[in-house]
Amino acid sequence: MSNTILVGAQWGDEGKGKIIDYLTHHADVVVRTQGGNNAGHTIVHGSEKYVLSLIPSGILHRGKVCVLGNGVVIDPVALLGEIDALAGRGIACTPENLLISDRAHVVFPYHRVMDAFREDRKKGRIGTTKRGIGPAYGDKIARTGLRMIDLAKPARVRAAVLAANQLLKQLGAPAIKAAAVVADYEQAWKRLQPHVTDTVGHLHAAMKKKRRILFEGAQGTYLDIDHGTYPYVTSSSTTSGGACTGSGVPPNKIDSIYGVMKAYTTRVGEGPFPTENAELSDRLHDMGREFGAVTGRARRCGWLDAVATRAAVQVNGVDRLAITNLDGLDGQEVVRICVAYELDGQELQRVPADVEDLARCVPVYRDFPGWKTSTEEVRKFTDLPKAAQRYLKAVEKLCGAPLELISVGPGRHQTFHA
């Protein structure tokens, strides 16, 4: 493996944390390039479970350099919470193993207030994580945001809070105490400053030394601000192109692109989801699965949507697929794959742009016999039940990229090559 981008091929929560952890063995540098602490990557090491929101999971591996790239939005207080929680478990984040871009935008408490305020409206709810991600990216695009480097100048922080208070007043939301934010962020800056650097320069120096870079995607293709089910999306570029803009590593330095998908589909938050299925949701929830790592929300579940995943393969340039949670389908009599949509009597092979149209799409399914036996102990493709092998072969064909990795449980040892 040389420089590899890993993206989610569905609506997020595809089990990327686990695959990233697996691929990290073959990487020297692990980079986050978009999103913020709205993400939740769950990694199980032995009997230990870690949920990381901002810090790349490479931090759990000795000798890896972790980078928060320029495309990430950082809540410094949340980041310090994560650093301290890791320290409490014997994992140290140092200026050598955790680099933070000086150009990454900062999430402030007023972003969270604005996010929650918009979410609490009856109409137009997105179902966000309320971590302030949308408003922070909004400020970035409007050119009114502050970047990590600005935290060195408390006057800028104070001015930003005062300006935000004007907006909060218009919304009818309570004002934020500027002095408290300035003090908290000054404190945070003191601790984070040794990590803050020109990460683009570091990444190019690493490439010159032939270091292998893994770009760990957060969220998924259908939450992408351009390619997702807008407006029910997050506010960053979650597709592979975002890894380049969010890190300063150009496309011609990328060697391969992994798409991670579940053996079925899930989504959290609002928005259309053609293959959503209440029975499958109940079944997975009864198995104790499919609750959000960050918010604890029960995820909506449905059958694998090959129309959506095939388009995700195209948009990202996925050249290898990793499929997770195969074991989630273990008890099913029948497993289904959506191979087309039907809308107003027409068959569609692509995801329509209008979410109201997408919400009216009726999935056209192809049914496969279930395998009705546990796959959790399987470590080889050929040891999988024949029905599971047939299902995976169909997934590969319908989604349009070769299957490289299969995961049958949360543990590290439960991942194998296809």
Q: Which residues bind ligand IMP (CB under 6 A)?
A: 12-13, 38-40, 126-129, 131, 133-134, 218-219, 223, 232, 234-235, 268-269
Q: Cβ of residue 269: shortest distance to ligand IMP, in angstroms?
A: 2
Q: C-beta of 36: minimal distance to ligand IMP in Å?
A: 8
- Identify whether the C-beta of residue 146 lies closer than 8 Å to the C-beta of residue 106: yes
Q: Is 391:335 a contact under the CB 8 Å cutoff?
A: yes
- Please state the closest distance from residue 152 (CB atom) to ligand IMP, in A: 28
Read out DSSP for 134-160? HHHHHHHHHT---BGGGGG-HHHHHHH
The residue among 62 and 122 lying less far from ligand IMP, judged by its C-beta, is: 122
Helix or strand run (H / E) with residue 27: none
Between 74 and 133, name the residue whose CB sits nearer to ligand IMP: 133
Complex with ligand IMP: residue 269 or 370, whichever CB lies closer:
269
Q: Cβ 73 to ligand IMP, closest distance in Å?
A: 10
Minimum distance from residue 132 beta carbon to ligand IMP (Å): 8
Query: In this complex, which beta carbon is closest to ligand IMP, that of residue 30 or of residue 133?
Result: 133
Q: Supply 236's token pair.
A: 């960053």
Q: What is the DSSP string of 74-121?
A: E-HHHHHHHHHHHHHTT----TTTEEEETT-EE--HHHHHHHHHHHTS
The one catalytic residue among 21, 41, 105, 202: 41
Cα–Cα distance measured from residue 91 to residue 62, given in angstroms and rounded to the nearest whole number: 9
Q: What's the closest the beta carbon of residue 270 comes to ligand IMP, in angstroms?
A: 6
Residue nearest to ligand IMP (CB): 269
Question: DSSP secondary-structure letter at 285?
Answer: H
Cα separation, 37 vs 107, whole angstroms:
10
CB of 214 to ligand IMP, least distance (A): 18
Give how far Cα 119 sits from Cα of 102, 116, 130, 198, Å. 30, 5, 8, 35
DSSP string, 306-354: HHHHHHHHHHHT--EEEEE-GGGGTT-SEEEEEEEEEETTEEESS--SS
Nearer to ligand IMP, 8 or 241 (CB): 8
Catalytic residue among 13, 139, 327, 330: 13
Q: How far is CA 123 from the centre of its chain?
A: 26
User: CA 67 to CA 55: how far, in whole Å?
Assistant: 8
41 carries an active-site annotation: yes
Is 102 a catalytic site residue?
A: no
**Cβ(398)–Cβ(310) under 8 Å?**
yes
Distance CA 84, CA 87 (A): 5
Quick one: 31 or 340, whose CB is closer to ligand IMP? 31
243, amino acid identity: A
Minimum CB separation of residue 50 from ligand IMP in Å reads 15
Environment class of 116 (CB within 10 Å of its CB; exposed 0-12, middle 13-18, buried 19+): middle
Say if CB 228 and CB 52 are below 8 A apart: no
Of 232 and 391, CB closest to ligand IMP: 232
Nearer to ligand IMP, 218 or 405 (CB): 218
Catalytic residue ranges: 13, 41
